[in-house]
Amino acid sequence: MTAQEAPRPHFELDPSAGPVGLTRQLCNIPSVSGDERGIADAVEAMLRTHAPHLALTRDGDTLIARTELGRDRRVAIAGHLDTVPINANLPVRDELDPATGEAVIWGRGTVDMKAGVAVQLALAVELTAPAVDLTWVWYDHEEVASELSGLGRAMRNHPELFDADFAILGEPSNGTIEGGCNGTLRARVELHGTRAHSARSWMGVNAIHRAGVLLDRLASWEAARIVVDGLEYREGLNAVRIEGGVAGNVIPDRCVIEVNYRFAPSRSADEAVGVVREFFADADTVEIVDLAPGARPGLDAPLAQGFVAAVGAVPTAKLGWTDVSRFSALGIPAVNFGPGNALLAHADDERVPVAQIEESAAALRAWLAQA
């Protein structure tokens, strides 16, 4: 350590606190994307001390812990360690929800998704002889660009560790099962014009005015509702950013609209690109800058059917994109399951019901004991 470097803080996790106590402990370890080293160190130390039955591999700030019991089926269960930036909402505190009166843990990461990780960690330590072999994965860099994902990196670096028959991602789902996920695409749609002095605007072509036609078309676009394997997904096509302008007295010769297309998992990535290119066929250029396919619900897998029965609630569709897509791309059916209301993810008043943490742990424990 150089003289300029400060020692890294040391954090400890105590699995005897159970999933609720672990939620508080995990949330109080700051782990904004790019700063997951402290929480990864704490998770690794806890597993090495309290879970000797797990074979542990570390890849950067991603941890992969596996049972090797010789079972004929394997389930992967994953959750991310990072959060969006803190905004005066740590340390966590115990409150009563103002709307429902139920006991909640309030603070950054409680919903997305340290309560889900706490459930997983508690069960990873507790379940030494589950009915299926387990691959637990806790990974870094989920809340940022997909190419930085610790899960994606670990899958590339250690493909042999990701063979599984079924996968569960601990994304917040109110303690119910959300199948699959929508795909997501971002594109930069560029319109050209001709510069001119604004006092003689008729000598130019205003690229920003040209964009108005496309913006009107976007505003009138109606979201499709598409049923995939029994679950209804809702698509979305929206402008999320716009750039243009040269100076206060210049007719602009360029305008760029950034759009985000959320597409049902019945569409392939190539089909989604085709939809966007056709919609903006009159633009000068359409550049695809980010593309991640969706994932079908995965509920027809035998293990999934047993899990649905254990949770005891009717599954719904996951409308956002999640890392179930990465498992699906490997041919592994995957679902989302975790405590917390996704509508509160990233909110300053993020909070998770204590009872939902306990219920999620009980359902997952019961299923893994007899799956």
Tokens 């919609």 — which residue?
279
Distance between CA 66 and CA 74 in Å, rounded? 10
| Catalytic annotation present for 142 | yes
CA–CA distance, 144 with 100 (Å, rounded to integer): 32
Residue 68 to residue 131: CA distance in whole angstroms:
12
- What residues contact residue 256 under an 8 Å CB cut-off, 6+ apart? 188, 189, 190, 191, 242, 243, 244
Distance, in Å, from the CA atom of 290 to the CA atom of 218, rounded to the nearest integer, reads: 19
Count Cα neighbours of 326 within 13 Å in the Cβ-side half-sphere: 23
> Which residue among the candidates 140, 142, 165, 171 is catalytic per the annotation?
142
Helix (H) or strand (E) holding 68: none
Torsion angles phi and psi, residue 262, rounded to 5: -100, 115
Residue 143's closest CA among 266, 14, 322, 268?
A: 322
What's the sign of the alpha-carbon dihedral 69, 72, 77, 78?
positive
Whole-angstrom distance, CA of residue 132 vs CA of residue 144: 32
Does an H or E element contain 256, and which?
strand 254-263
Q: Which of 59, 82, 235, 253 is catalytic?
A: 82
Residue 36 bears catalytic tag: no
**Residues whose CB falls within 8 Å of the CB of residue 106, separated by 6 or more in sequence, listed in order:** 89, 92, 93, 94, 95, 349, 350, 351
Active-site residues: which are they? 82, 142
